[in-house]
Amino acid sequence: MEKEDRGVDKRRIMKITVGTRGSKLALIQTDWVIERLHELYPRIEITVKTIKTKGDRVRSTLEKIRGKGFFVKEIEEALLNREIDMAVHSIKDLPTELPKGLLIGAVTKRLDPGDALISKDGKKIDALPANSSIGTSSLRRKAQLLAYRQDLKIRDLRGNLDTRFKKLEKMEYSAIVVAACGVERFGWKDKITQILPTDIFLPASGQGALGIEIRVDDEEIKEVVKKLNDENSHICIVAERSFISTLGGGCRVPIGVLGDIKEQELSLQGVVLSPDGKRLIKSKIEGSKEEAIELGKELAFRIIELGGKDILKETVG
C-alpha cells in the first residue's frame, strides 16, 4: 500500500456519515464530494445527514444578526459529538477560527470565485440604465456596486439561489448579483450575463471552493479526505483567510479578497470599503506561495495603514 494511504484499507467497507445543510445547493455540493469519494474508494458506504443551522432558520435582517459560524455551528457540534464523520461546507461560510478539535481536512478545486451579474435584459454592469435596481443580500457586493456606480439602487435579496432567480423574474429588479460558483453548480451558467471583473469586484474569502471539515483526532478520515485537496486552491484560501483574520472585520464590514497562483508565485489583492461604497482602500501583494499566511497578514497591515483602520473602526463601532 502506498505511503500516503496508510490508515486506509481499500479492501474493507468503510462507513462514513457526511453532514451538510439541507439547501439545494448544499446538497448538490455534498453529492459532488460523495461522487469523488466513491471514485477513490469504491467500497465506501456514505450516509448523508442534513442539519438545519441558525442561518437556515432565520431569514430576516440576516446581515445584522449573523455572527461567527452562522451557517455551520450546528454542523460543527454534530462533528464534535461524533454524530457525523465529516462536514461539507462552502469555505466562505467557515469562520477563520475553528472550534478546538476541528480542522479543514481538504479544500476542493476552486470554481470561478467571482460574482455573477444576471440581468433581465442581458445588459452588463456598464450598460444598465441609471438608477437601475440591483438585488443582493451581501454587504460586500452592495458596497462594491456602489463604489463603482453610485446611481444604482441596491435592494435586499434573500433566499436560496433558485429563489433569487424567481424573484428576479417576479419583482422589480433590473439585475441580481450572486456567486458565480453557485450558478455553475446548479448548471445555470447560461443564465449569467457577466462575471464582474475582479479588478473591480473582489469576492468573499474562499468563494468558489468547498471545505471538508473533520476532527483533528480522526486519522483515518484525515487520510480519506486529503485526496480531495487541491493544493493551489488550498494555498490561496489559506492566504485569504489569514487576511480576513488579521483585519478582524467579520461579516459586518464589506471586505473582499482574492488569491491567485501562477507558477510558484502567489498574488493576493484585498479591499475594505465603507458600506455606502464612498470610501475604498485596496492593495495587492505578491510573494512565494509557501508564505501564504504571512502574505495575508502583510496585506491586511498594508490596508490598515492606508486608512482601512478608520473604516473598520467606524463600521464595527
How confident is the model at residue 168, as a pLDDT? 84
How confident is the model at residue 13, as a pLDDT? 78
Locate the DSSP E strands across 137-209: 153-156, 175-179, 194-195
151 an active-site residue?
no
Measured at the CA of 96, the angle between CA 220 and CA 270, to 5 degrees, comes to: 130
How confident is the model at residue 64, as a pLDDT? 43
The catalytic position among 31, 56, 85, 93 is 93
DSSP 306: I
Low-confidence residues of the chain: pLDDT under 70: 1-12, 55-69, 249-251, 316-317
How confident is the model at residue 161, as a pLDDT? 81
Residues in the chain: 317
Measured at the CA of 143, the angle between CA 120 and CA 90, to 5 degrees, comes to: 75
The grid cell for 134 is 440591483
Q: Give CA–CA dist 238/200, Å, rounded.
A: 22
| CATH topology assigned to domain 240-316 | Double Stranded RNA Binding Domain (3.30.160)
Asked: is 3-110+209-229 a CATH 3.40.190.10 domain? The reply is: yes
Domain 115-195 CATH superfamily: Periplasmic binding protein-like II (3.40.190.10)
Same fold, 3-110+209-229 and 240-316: no
The grid cell for 75 is 454542523
The backbone torsions φ and ψ at residue 135, rounded to the nearest 5 degrees and listed phi first, read -95, 125
How confident is the model at residue 57, as a pLDDT? 63
Could you tell me the CA-to-CA distances from 52 to 57, 123, 208 in Å, in that order? 7, 37, 22
What are the sequence ranges of the domains in the chain?
A: 3-110+209-229, 115-195, 240-316
pLDDT in tens, 190-230: 999 999 999 899 999 999 999 999 999 999 999 999 999 99
How confident is the model at residue 180, as a pLDDT? 96
Handedness of CA 281, 269, 71, 144 (dihedral sign): positive
| Helical spans, DSSP H, in the chain | 24-40, 54-57, 62-65, 73-80, 139-148, 161-170, 180-186, 219-225, 231-247, 292-303, 309-316
Q: pTM above the 0.95 mark?
A: no
